Structure 1
Amino acid sequence: MTAAAKLPEPAATDCVLGLDVGGTSTRVVAIDLAGNRLASGHSGGGNPVSHGAANSVRNVSDAIAQVLVSVAPERVRAVVMGIAGITNLRNDAGEPMFDPVWREAGLTCPVRLVADAVVAFAAGTAAPSGTVLIAGTGAIATAIDDHRLAGRRSDGYGWLLGDLGSGFWLGREAVSASLRYLDDIGPGGPMVDSVIKALTPQSHSPATNHIIQEVMSVEPVRLSRFAPLVTQAAGDGDPVAENLISQAAGHLVRSIELIHTDPARPVVLAGSLAGGDTPVSHKVLSALSARQPDLVVHKAIDGAAGAAWLAARMVMSDAESLRRLHEVFVPART
């Protein structure tokens, strides 16, 4: 949805909507142009690839409806939604998939759809260009130029072909380590014990074949559920878990270095593993600091707020005002 005529200058009481649409959840925030958070909404995952078009549209619509209970649609000057796979977001008739959402919500303002990586980068910095690493269930590093995808990426190939250092990767490696222990060819410890316990019913003795069957009976990506067992054990000093954390961080740092060619530009870490307070994040930060002491690294905590700031850029032109507004929308996290 675009505006044909130039919009009037915004008032501080006008607001913008930012949406962070992922495979696990959909988050929406309304923030006025003075930086006040007015309302937020939350619903299920909105990624059409993992949830299907109908469920995706419904969840995005539900989250927006929660916000518009207390924010009149006519106050909204712009909307930005971050979502993966934006080039394919059309319905069977060729119409942009989410256009009915905006119409039914009564939103007549400009709406921009951007890649989830663009929103993650904006959630970490007001700089226009740099590199963002997203590491959660999956993992990808990608370059950002002028608040857009630059076309340079490392990994993000999915569980079968890549996502090295991701939550899936950690979970798979943890289960593999547990199988080696049961076959008496690898060390045990708290992490291995916790994985075996999670995969072995109380009525069974731990057995390699049973664990393999349990893992093979569900979607491979669900191996990511064991990643917290790795990070917890590593935090408690388990050497097997610590080794996996170091390997994961090494993969992620390598992905960043393959993409990040300009040391004057910032790096943003996002996702539950890289952007959170985790052993993986700590290792990545430490490695980057050791290799490039002057590198500026930020963490992206609130993707929806990053999307809202990008929406504010659609209606405001003063660079200094936008910089100050970014500090209010998404306070710096390092």
Structure 2
Amino acid sequence: MLTLGGALAGTGTGPGANPNSGGDTAGALTTALSEALGDVDRSLVLTGVFGIAGAGSAGRPAAVSAARRAWHACGLRGSPAVVTDIAVAFAAGTTAQKGIVVFSGTGAGAAVISDGAIVRRADGYGWLVGDEGSAVWLGREAVRAALAALDGRSRPTLLTESVPRALLGQAVLSELGAATPRHQCTQHRPAATPAPALAFAGAAVNGTSLGAGGTTTLAREPASRVPQNPALAQAIIKEVYGRPPAALGRLGPVVAAAAAAGDAVARRITEEAAEWLLRDVDAVRAALTDPSAPVVMHGSVLRDGPVADAVRAGLRVRFDADPRRAGDGAVGAASLAIRRLGFPPPE
């Protein structure tokens, strides 16, 4: 929540709001908005902006309806503006009205933004048919790699230990008699030079940043096979299919940690993620009329770690300048709301 002068007046968080990944949009927005408002006098709230995945296309009616339900449930006057989460991601990194944003959180993609509208976009199509390079994509690839190693289709990887531990917990692993065997991670070999939302919502009185293709080719040489454990594999499958797809995003840091430790399979996954994200940027950059316009990196995957490092390096090469790191998406949405009232956005 921001004052007209840009001072922080309240914050709130809620569960995942992306309906394409199993989130309850209205419920999540209501939870976050209510927490952000606290005991603030509702009559002082002038307007709001929600950035919602899918709000710029066929999903817009549902997104607008969810935002209005949350707004009115919190006792606020009027109706909030609804924009795409992609526009909010850009506003979270710059006060400029035009530029490029590349994002990777629950969803992933890139877009050219102008005055809060998407001029051109690449990906951001949801976990089922897109979002390559997102936290959910990283999680899915990690599970695939772990299962392939567990049933003997592929080489051992640190992911056969860290993925079951993250998904099931040590207590369940012990019950299964599945203390995953420790082994030396497969050494990373440098790959060829790479070729490369996030679901959050915000309100003018703030809101919340909510953290939301391709296949990895795994080596098949028979190097120190992991003992097969059908019960463990089935427990992983039960956990994965028993939760919304967005839950796979929690494995993003697991992949990053394994890659940082030198695991070849995890490194291959993070490198491919960066390639997808940079490919998204290449697909939209022709629509950027001002070559000096800012480039913003947004989302949990692009804060730090191997994917963020690779994407940042690729953007430097492409634009001969350092990309900007986005801050809180909710603050970006609040800045857009302030701008809609005719005030300059806070620096």
TM-score of the superposition, structure 2-length normalised? 0.71
Q: Do the aligned partners of residues 314 and 168 (structure 1) sit closer, same or farther apart at CA in structure 2, a change above 3 Å counting?
A: closer
Which of 328, 333, 336 pairs up with 1:302?
328
Asked whether 1:168 is paired with 2:136, we answer yes
**3-state SS of the aligned residue for 2:111?**
strand
- Native 8 Å contact 1:39 1:70 kept in 2: no
* 182-191 or 74-83, which deviates more: 182-191
**Which residue of 2 is the match for residue 45 of structure 1?**
16
For 2:28 and 2:128, locate their aligned partners in 1 and report how far apart those are by CA, in whole Å: 28
* 229-238 or 57-66, which deviates more: 57-66
**3-state SS of the aligned residue for 2:48?**
strand
Task: Give the partner amino acid of 2:141.
Answer: E
Q: Please give the per-residue CA displacement for 1:262-286, whole angstroms capped at 9, x wherever unaligned.
A: 3332222111102x22221111101
Alpha-carbon distance, 1:33 to partner: 1.9
Asked whether 1:250 is paired with 2:218, we answer no
Q: Do the aligned partners of residues 181 and 99 (structure 1) sit closer, same or farther apart at CA in structure 2, a change above 3 Å counting?
A: closer
For 2:65 and 2:164, locate their aligned partners in 1 and report how far apart those are by CA, in whole Å: 46
For 2:108 and 2:129, locate their aligned partners in 1 and report how far apart those are by CA, in whole Å: 11
**3-state SS of the aligned residue for 2:282?**
helix
**3-state SS of the aligned residue for 1:44?**
coil
> How many residues were matched structurally?
285
Q: Do the aligned partners of residues 237 and 147 (structure 1) sit closer, same or farther apart at CA in structure 2, a change above 3 Å counting?
A: same
Which of 240, 254, 261 pairs up with 1:236?
261
For 1:59 and 1:132, locate their aligned partners in 2 and report how far apart those are by CA, in whole Å: 24
Q: Do the aligned partners of residues 32 and 223 (structure 1) sit closer, same or farther apart at CA in structure 2, a change above 3 Å counting?
A: closer
Asked whether 1:142 is paired with 2:111, we answer yes
- Native 8 Å contact 2:149 2:157 kept in 1: no
- Native 8 Å contact 2:163 2:251 kept in 1: yes
**Which residue of 1 is the match for residue 314 of structure 2?**
287
Q: Please give the per-residue CA displacement for 1:203-250, whole angstroms capped at 9, x wherever unaligned.
A: 345526445533443338244333222111222233332222112111
**3-state SS of the aligned residue for 2:13?**
strand
**Which residue of 2 is the match for residue 21 of structure 1?**
none
Alpha-carbon distance, 1:165 to partner: 1.7
- Native 8 Å contact 2:142 2:251 kept in 1: yes
For 2:157 and 2:80, locate their aligned partners in 1 and report how far apart those are by CA, in whole Å: 51
- Native 8 Å contact 1:174 1:195 kept in 2: yes
Alpha-carbon distance, 1:122 to partner: 0.3
**Which residue of 2 is the match for residue 269 of structure 1?**
297
Q: Do the aligned partners of residues 44 and 244 (structure 1) sit closer, same or farther apart at CA in structure 2, a change above 3 Å counting?
A: closer
For 1:156 and 1:67, locate their aligned partners in 2 and report how far apart those are by CA, in whole Å: 27
**Which residue of 2 is the match for residue 117 of structure 1?**
86
Asked whether 1:80 is paired with 2:49, we answer yes
**Which residue of 2 is the match for residue 63 of structure 1?**
32
Q: Please give the per-residue CA displacement for 1:152-194, whole angstroms capped at 9, x wherever unaligned.
A: 2222233332322222322233233334434556443433332
Task: Give the partner amino acid of 1:310.
Answer: L
Q: Do the aligned partners of residues 256 and 46 (structure 1) sit closer, same or farther apart at CA in structure 2, a change above 3 Å counting?
A: same
Q: Do the aligned partners of residues 234 and 124 (structure 1) sit closer, same or farther apart at CA in structure 2, a change above 3 Å counting?
A: same
**Which residue of 2 is the match for residue 214 of structure 1?**
235
Task: Give the partner amino acid of 1:70.
Answer: D
For 2:323 and 2:155, locate their aligned partners in 1 and report how far apart those are by CA, in whole Å: 35
Asked whether 1:201 is paired with 2:173, we answer yes
For 1:227 and 1:48, locate their aligned partners in 2 and report how far apart those are by CA, in whole Å: 20
For 2:256 and 2:162, locate their aligned partners in 1 and report how far apart those are by CA, in whole Å: 12
Asked whether 1:159 is paired with 2:127, we answer yes
Q: Do the aligned partners of residues 147 and 84 (structure 1) sit closer, same or farther apart at CA in structure 2, a change above 3 Å counting?
A: same
**Which residue of 1 is the match for residue 160 of structure 2?**
192
Report 1:92-111 matches (<5 A). 96-108=65-77, 111=80
Alpha-carbon distance, 1:146 to partner: 1.7
**3-state SS of the aligned residue for 1:144?**
strand
Structure 1: gaps spanning 5 or more residues? 1-29, 328-334
Q: Do the aligned partners of residues 165 and 43 (structure 1) sit closer, same or farther apart at CA in structure 2, a change above 3 Å counting?
A: closer
Q: Please give the per-residue CA displacement for 1:20-53, whole angstroms capped at 9, x wherever unaligned.
A: xxxxxxxxxx21122221122223334455567x
For 2:95 and 2:89, locate their aligned partners in 1 and report how far apart those are by CA, in whole Å: 11
